[in-house]
C-alpha cells in the first residue's frame, strides 16, 4: 500500500493564551501544498519503519517516530495485534514547520487501514489522528481548512483557485514546542493580554475568490516573532522575498521554513531561482496549493 501525503503552510496562525494542558487554542488556517512524502506499508509480523529520501538522516526510526505511533494507535483501536513494515520516502523538510511528521503519521494511518483490511471510515482515522498530534487530522484531509482547539478540530474552506508558493528551506529544524514556549516568553515580557484568536474575514474572502494579491496581504503568523528570535537569520530571507516581488512572505508554522506567495507558476519558478541565486536561501522549492490530503496511489 502506498500513500502520498502533502506538506502544509499556515496562511493564518493565530495563537490564543496558554491553556492549562500546555497547549494553546488556535485559529489555524491550514493550506496543503504540493510537496509530498510517500508512505508504503508492507505485510510484516511487527511494526517497523525505514526512512529514505532527502532528509532521512534527521528522522528517528525508534518508538518516537510518529508513523510507528500512528500504526500502533490504529492497531490498538482495531483491538488486534497487527504488523507492518513502513517505508517513508521523505521530501517534506523535517522539523520545518510544514507538518512533515504529521504527514507521515497520516500516511501510516491510511496505508495500514488498507493493508490490514480494517475499512475504518475517515471519522475514526481523524479521531486517532487528533490524539497523535495537532496537525495530523489536517494531513488526512488536506485542501484548505480552519483548525480550532489545538488545531485538530477542522472545517474545510472552499478556495477559488490555485495559489503558487515558494518555500525557502533552512538548515536544521526548529522544535514546535520550543517556538510556542518562546512565543509565551515574548508575550509575558510584553505584559499585554493575549486576545482570543479570530478568523480573518479578509483572508477568507481572498481564499474564496482565489485572489493571490489579497491573500498575500493577509498572511499572518503569531509564531513568526518567536521563530525569528530563535533564528534571526530568517529575517533577511523573508525580506528578500519582497525584493523579488513576492505577494507575501511568512514563516511557515513554527518554522524555520519561509513561505513566499507568488503571482503565478512562472513567477514562483523565477522567485525560487532568485532566492537561491542571491544566497537569500540555500534551497528554494516551488509548489502549489491547495492539494488533497493523504491518498492511496
Q: Which residues are annotated as a binding site?
A: 93-103
* Catalytic residue list contains 63: no
- In the block, cell 521563530 appears at 227
Q: How far is the CB of 136 from ligand C5P (least distance, A)?
A: 8
Q: Per CB under 6 A, does 176 bind ligand C5P?
A: yes
* Catalytic residue list contains 8: yes
Q: Which is nearer to ligand C5P, 97 or 216 (CB)?
A: 97
Q: Per CB under 6 A, does 134 bind ligand C5P?
A: yes
Q: Which is nearer to ligand C5P, 23 or 217 (CB)?
A: 23
Question: Where does this chain touch ligand C5P (CB under 6 A) — which range of 47-55, 176-184, 191-199, 204-212?
Answer: 176-184
Annotated binding-site residue numbers for ATP: 93-103
Sites for ligand C5P among residues 180-199 (CB under 6 A) = 180
Binds ligand C5P (CB under 6 A): choice among 76, 161, 177, 235: 177
Binding residues for ligand C5P (CB under 6 A): 22-24, 26, 133-135, 150-151, 176-177, 180
Catalytic residue set: 8, 135
Amino acid at each position: 500500500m502506498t500513500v502520498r501525503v502533502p506538506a502544509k503552510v499556515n496562511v493564518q496562525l493565530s495563537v490564543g493564551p496558554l491553556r492549562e494542558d500546555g497547549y494553546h487554542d488556535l485559529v489555524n488556517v491550514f493550506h496543503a501544498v504540493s510537496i509530498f512524502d510517500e508512505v508504503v506499508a508492507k505485510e510484516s509480523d511487527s511494526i517497523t519503519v525505514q526512512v529514505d529520501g532527502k532528509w532521512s538522516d534527521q528522522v528517528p526510526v525508534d518508538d518516537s517516530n510518529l508513523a510507528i505511533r500512528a500504526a500502533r494507535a490504529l492497531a490498538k483501536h482495531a483491538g488486534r495485534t497487527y504488523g507492518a513494515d513502513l517505508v517513508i520516502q521523505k521530501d517534506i523538510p523535517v522539523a520545518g514547520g510544514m507538518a512533515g511528521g504529521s504527514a507521515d503519521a497520516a500516511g501510516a494511518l491510511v496505508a495500514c487501514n488498507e493493508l490490514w483490511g480494517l475499512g475504518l471510515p475517515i471519522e475514526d482515522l481523524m479521531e486517532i489522528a487528533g490524539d497523535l498530534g495537532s496537525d495530523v487530522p489536517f494531513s488526512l484531509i488536506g485542501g484548505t481548512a480552519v483548525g480550532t482547539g489545538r488545531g485538530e478540530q477542522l472545517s474545510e474552506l472552499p478556495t477559488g483557485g490555485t495559489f503558487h508558493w515558494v518555500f525557502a528551506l533552512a538548515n536544521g529544524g526548529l522544535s514546535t514546542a520550543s517556538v510556542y514556549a518562546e512565543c509565551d516568553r515574548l508575550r509575558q515580557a510584553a505584559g499585554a493580554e493575549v486576545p482570543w484568536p479570530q478568523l480573518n474575514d479578509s483572508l477568507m474572502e481572498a481564499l474564496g475568490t482565489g485572489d493571490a494579491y489579497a491573500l498575500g496581504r493577509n498572511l499572518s503568523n503569531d509564531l513568526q516573532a518567536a521563530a525569528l528570535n530563535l533564528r534571526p537569520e530568517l529575517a533577511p530571507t523573508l525580506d528578500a522575498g519582497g525584493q523579488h516581488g513576492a505577494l507575501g512572505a511568512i514563516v511557515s508554522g513554527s518554522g524555520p521554513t519561509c513561505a513566499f506567495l507568488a503571482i503565478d507558476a512562472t513567477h514562483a519558478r523565477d522567485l525560487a531561482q532568485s532566492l537561491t541565486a542571491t544566497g537569500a536561501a540555500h534551497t528554494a522549492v516551488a509548489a502549489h496549493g491547495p492539494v488533497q490530503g493523504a491518498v492511496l496511489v
